């Protein structure tokens, strides 16, 4: 090996390597007989330093994968909590660079999948964006406003950097379109649990959602994770019964928002993740 | 053979939205493709445009303005449409379409409140529930329009995010729609947003240009040499331009130059923006080098938007239309100038177009001549041709602000 790169960085720069790391994380959880725990955090929120501490806390508290949001001014798929966090992060001077510091902080321990909006990728350029993610050790990308049929050049650039492009599937997605998304999915499929934006909800796993996720799991070769609206350890356990992975976002971002300082934020997210992990194991 | 509802205009347009909305956009595209070919729908829309909106609006030969600029100028009087602006053409059409699609709830965004009032009006007419998202700052600035919407039975939902203006109101409406897409239709107010909206809104606003073209031929026996309109999101301008696309007619769009392009405080996405995605479409946007969307600035709330319709970006790139910025101060002076020359109080939005015309002919007031640069203003056209300008709305809504700002300018 000519380069003294970290294991994560070197693995993610070869084609498909990000996808392999994601697959390994799901497989490890499955071996333990549970769904993967996939907490979301807003990169650079509330500021760059606190964000790195929160990333470490996620890794220490049993996250199987971390979903890392890049702060964006106009996040159309996000509800008020994550939108407000993005605004705070931007006001604190955080952008792509600061958010990726949180990625680099933990990407050798836990696979990180970045969530970014189309305009940020177009502004930086597909290739430059993908290579910066790969350099920070990221395994994949979720672009919530790049549905099937848009952004061919962005897709190529992401694949070229060895990153998995994780697609979203909604309950409103037509059957033929679902099949096409499943066909090109990399890493995992992000099944949107609610008809709506991100944010805490109290709902149970209903019949329709159970059918929706199990249909996806039957057809897809990659794992299927559910997210949007999942906000208690009990919900994590319930959704973990039907999916390969469970994503928790707004609840954790709110814990950080409400905390008086970084130490309190770290304690709050650690406590939640430990309880969620326990609920999944139970 | 009917033409498909366009999803893209050259490289621009598309549907950069959460997956949850894709099925609804497909449904809307299919519904519009059928409705616009459907004689019953068109007859009903035509009846409402005639009897309720008051169409056709006149094409008025503005004698004293013509004298001032040294060539004949016709004004397309959208200010005389019901509710005082062209916005009603789109609102009535989309509300009728929503009803046909079986949707029972309508949402809309509004900046100054004109589109909100138009949508609330159309919903009252057709018996639909109506929620209008409006930035909290705009609610404060536009109290009379908030009162109008409430009176018409609509709910005005304040938006507290960001700068609490139009951009955030659009985002809030889209987020509502993501969650309510099964029974709700989103009546977007301009030729922006994901496909099919840019084509749908243009189709509903093209009545402006279709009427104006035929009225110009009646009046002059010839086509205008130049067609001029203001461009915020771009609905009155595309509605006016569309009928003339295949004609040997110069198309000129006037953007809000705010405090000047060099000040960075403007809303001129086409003249000074970059290519990017805002509210679901690839187009010209105001964004920083990281892709964060910037706040626009204009004295005119209706032009205060950091994006523009994708078809305009395409018309700019192909050279078919030209776009120039006009500053706040010039627009304010043109507002007064038109009132005194023609007895017409224009909205601040088309006052930008009037200002460009005055400046271009070298006949603006001395104050305006001293105020700013006008890249497009060099050299008047031939003297035998005539101009057609879309006067997209009336200025009652702007009186308080204009009077205060003119007092500052007059010192």
Name the CATH superfamily housing domain A8-281: Aldolase class I (3.20.20.70)
Q: Are residues B46 and B159 both part of a single domain?
A: yes
Identify whether B298 is part of a domain: yes
Of A76, A123, A195, the CB nearest to B171: A76
Predicted confidence at residue B248, as pLDDT, reads 98
Of B17, B279, B289, the CB nearest to A123: B289
What is the C-alpha separation between B336 and A198, in angstroms, rounded?
48
Q: Are residues B295 and B404 both part of a single domain?
A: yes
Of A119-133, A226-240, B354-368, least confident by mean pLDDT is B354-368
Of B247-256, B311-320, B391-400, least confident by mean pLDDT is B391-400
Q: Are residues B81 and B164 both part of a single domain?
A: no
Total domain count for chain B? 2
Of A84, A118, A171, the CB nearest to B16: A118
Summarised one tens digit per residue, pLDDT across range B186-207 is 999 999 999 999 999 999 999 9
Residues composing chain A: 282
Say whether B23 and A173 touch across the interface (CB within 8 A).
Answer: yes
Q: Which residue has the higher pLDDT, B369 or A239?
A: A239
What is the C-alpha separation between B248 and B224, in angstroms, rounded?
9
Provide the 3-class DSSP secondary structure of residue A244.
coil
pTM above 0.80, yes or no: yes
Identify whether B1 is part of a domain: no
Residue in chain A closest to B14 (alpha carbons) equals: A150
Q: Are residues B47 and B59 both part of a single domain?
A: no
Q: Are residues B149 and B14 both part of a single domain?
A: yes
Which residue's entry shows tokens 């970006």? B313
Q: For B26-147, where are the E strands, in sequence order?
A: 59-61, 72-77, 105-110, 129-135
Which of B201, B232, B259 corresponds to the end of one domain?
Answer: B201
Token readout for B269 is: 């996405």
Which residues in chain B have Cβ-Cβ distances shorter than 8 Å to A144?
A: 18-19
Say whether B19 and A169 touch across the interface (CB within 8 A).
Answer: yes
Residue B383 has pLDDT above 70, yes or no: no
Q: Are residues B70 and B126 both part of a single domain?
A: no
Query: How distant is the Cα of B127 from the closest Cα of chain A, in angstroms?
Result: 26
Catalytic residues of B: 87, 109, 392
Predicted confidence at residue B378, as pLDDT, reads 39
Q: β-pairing, B274-278 with B281-285?
A: antiparallel
Predicted confidence at residue B377, as pLDDT, reads 41
Predicted confidence at residue B366, as pLDDT, reads 52
Provide the 3-class DSSP secondary structure of residue B248.
coil
Which residue's entry shows tokens 């035929």? B214
Predicted confidence at residue B362, as pLDDT, reads 82
Of B16, B21, B179, the CB nearest to A150: B16
Largest CA distance in chain A: 53
A165 touching B, CB under 8 A? no
Q: Are residues B383 and B247 both part of a single domain?
A: yes
Please report, to the nearest 10 degrees, the dihedral formed by the alpha carbons of residues B122, B53, B141, B131 taken in order. Answer: 10
- Average pLDDT of every residue of chain B: 93
Please report, to the nearest 10 degrees, the dihedral formed by the alpha carbons of residues A259, A262, A264, A267 taken in order. Answer: 120
Which residue's entry shows tokens 């099964």? B182
What is the C-alpha separation between B348 and B257, in angstroms, rounded?
13
Q: Are residues B303 and B392 both part of a single domain?
A: yes
Q: Are residues B356 and B285 both part of a single domain?
A: yes
Please identify which of the residues A67, A200, A244, A255 carries the catalytic annotation.
A67
Whose CA is closest to A195, among A216, A172, A214, A178? A172
Say whether A172 and B181 touch across the interface (CB within 8 A).
Answer: yes
CATH number at residue B114: 3.40.50.1100
Residue B235 has pLDDT above 90, yes or no: yes
Which residues in chain A have Cβ-Cβ distances shorter than 8 Å to B282?
A: 122
Q: Are residues B182 and B143 both part of a single domain?
A: yes
Give the confidence band of A204 by pLDDT, cuts at 50, 70, 90: confident
Q: Are residues B144 and B278 both part of a single domain?
A: no
Give the confidence band of B380 by pLDDT, cuts at 50, 70, 90: very low
Residue A266 has pLDDT above 90, yes or no: yes
Identify whether B177 is part of a domain: yes
CB under 8 Å to A55, separation ≥6 — which residues?
A41, A66, A68, A102, A103, A105, A106
A84 touching B, CB under 8 A? yes
Q: Which residue has the higher pLDDT, B362 or B237?
A: B237
Predicted confidence at residue B364, as pLDDT, reads 64
Provide the 3-class DSSP secondary structure of residue B102.
coil
Does an H or E element contain B210, and which? helix B207-220
Range of the domain at B176: 9-51+87-201
Q: Are residues B70 and B95 both part of a single domain?
A: no
Residue A5 has pLDDT above 90, yes or no: no
Chain B, 219 to 278: residues with Cβ < 8 Å from chain A are: 274-278
Say whether A123 and B178 touch across the interface (CB within 8 A).
Answer: no
Query: How distant is the Cα of A130 from the closest Cα of chain B, in angstroms?
Result: 14
- Delimit the domains of chain A by residue range: 8-281
Which of B144, B166, B201 corresponds to the end of one domain?
Answer: B201
Summarised one tens digit per residue, pLDDT across range A161-178 is 999 999 999 999 999 999
Which of B201, B220, B241 corresponds to the end of one domain?
Answer: B201
- Does residue A34 have a cis peptide bond before it, meaning omega lies within 30 degrees of 0? no
B22 touching A, CB under 8 A? yes
ipTM of the complex: 0.92
* Other beta carbons less than 10 A from residue A141's beta carbon: 27
Predicted confidence at residue A28, as pLDDT, reads 98
Give the confidence band of B141 by pLDDT, cuts at 50, 70, 90: confident
Identify whether B2 is part of a domain: no
Chain A, 85 to 124: residues with Cβ < 8 Å from chain B are: 87, 90, 95-96, 117-124
Average pLDDT of the residues in A248-257: 97
Does an H or E element contain B159, and which? strand B155-159
Predicted confidence at residue B374, as pLDDT, reads 44
Provide the 3-class DSSP secondary structure of residue A142.
strand
């Amino acid at each position: 090996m000519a380069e003294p790169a970290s294991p994560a960085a070197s693995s993610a720069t070869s084609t498909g390597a990000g996808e392999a790391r994601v697959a390994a994380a799901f497989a490890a959880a499955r071996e333990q007989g549970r769904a993967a725990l996939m907490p979301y955090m807003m990169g650079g929120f509330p500021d760059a330093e606190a964000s790195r501490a929160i990333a470490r806390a996620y890794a220490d508290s049993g996250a199987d994968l971390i979903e890392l949001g890049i702060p964006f001014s106009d996040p159309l798929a996000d509800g008020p909590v994550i939108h407000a966090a993005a605004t705070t992060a931007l006001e604190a001077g955080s952008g792509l660079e600061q958010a990726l510091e949180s990625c680099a902080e933990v990407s050798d321990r836990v696979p990180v999948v970045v969530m970014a909006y189309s305009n940020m990728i177009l502004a930086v350029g597909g290739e430059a964006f993908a290579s910066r993610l790969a350099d920070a050790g990221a395994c994949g990308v979720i672009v919530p406003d790049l549905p099937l049929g848009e952004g061919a050049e962005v897709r190529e650039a992401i694949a070229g950097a060895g990153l998995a492009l994780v697609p979203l599937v909604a309950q409103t997605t037509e059957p033929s379109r679902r099949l096409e998304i499943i066909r090109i999915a990399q890493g995992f499929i992000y099944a949107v649990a609610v008809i709506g934006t991100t944010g805490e909800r109290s709902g149970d796993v209903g019949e329709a959602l159970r059918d929706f996720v199990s249909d996806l799991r039957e057809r897809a070769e990659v794992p299927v994770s559910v997210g949007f609206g999942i906000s208690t350890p009990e919900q994590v356990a319930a959704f973990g019964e039907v999916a390969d992975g469970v994503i928790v976002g707004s609840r954790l971002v709110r814990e950080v928002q409400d905390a008086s300082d970084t130490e309190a934020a770290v304690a709050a997210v650690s406590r939640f993740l430990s309880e969620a992990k326990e609920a999944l194991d139970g | 053979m009917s033409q498909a509802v366009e999803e893209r205009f050259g490289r621009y347009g598309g549907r950069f939205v959460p997956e949850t909305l894709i099925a609804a956009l497909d449904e809307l595209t299919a519904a519009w493709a059928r409705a616009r070919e459907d004689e019953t729908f068109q007859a009903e829309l035509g009846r409402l445009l005639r009897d309720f909106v008051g169409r056709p609006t006149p094409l008025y030969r503005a004698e004293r303005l013509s004298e001032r600029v040294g060539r004949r100028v016709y004004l397309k009087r959208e200010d005389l449409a019901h509710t005082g602006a062209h916005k009603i053409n789109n609102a009535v059409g989309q509300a009728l379409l929503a009803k046909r699609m079986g949707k029972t709830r309508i949402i809309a965004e509004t900046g100054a409140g004109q589109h909100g009032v138009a949508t609330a009006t159309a919903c009252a007419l057709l018996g639909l529930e109506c929620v209008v998202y409006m930035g909290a700052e705009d609610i404060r600035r536009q109290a009379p329009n908030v009162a109008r919407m409430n009176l018409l039975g609509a709910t005005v939902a304040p938006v507290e995010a960001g700068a609490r203006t139009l951009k955030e109101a659009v985002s809030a409406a889209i987020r509502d729609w993501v969650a309510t897409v099964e029974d709700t239709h989103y009546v977007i107010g301009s030729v922006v947003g994901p496909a099919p909206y840019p084509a749908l809104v243009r189709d509903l606003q093209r009545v402006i240009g279709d009427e104006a073209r035929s009225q110009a031929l009646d009046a002059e026996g010839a086509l205008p040499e130049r067609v001029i309109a203001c461009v915020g999101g771009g609905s009155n301008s595309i509605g006016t331009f569309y009928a003339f696309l295949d004609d040997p007619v110069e198309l000129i769009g006037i953007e809000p130059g705010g405090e000047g392009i060099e000040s960075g405080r403007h809303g001129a996405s086409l003249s000074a923006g970059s290519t990017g995605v805002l509210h679901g479409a690839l187009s010209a946007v105001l964004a920083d080098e990281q892709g964060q969307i910037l706040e626009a600035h204009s004295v005119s709330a209706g032009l205060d938007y950091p994006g523009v319709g994708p078809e305009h970006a395409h018309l700019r790139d192909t050279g078919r239309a030209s776009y120039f910025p006009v500053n706040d101060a010039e627009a304010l002076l043109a507002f007064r100038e038109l009132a005194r020359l023609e007895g017409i109080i224009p909205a601040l939005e088309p006052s930008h177009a009037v200002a460009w015309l005055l400046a271009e002919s070298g006949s603006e007031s001395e104050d305006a001549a001293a105020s700013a640069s006008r890249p497009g203003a060099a050299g008047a056209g031939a003297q035998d041709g005539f101009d057609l300008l879309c006067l997209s709305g009336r200025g009652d809504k702007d009186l308080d602000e204009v009077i205060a700002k003119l007092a500052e300018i007059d010192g």
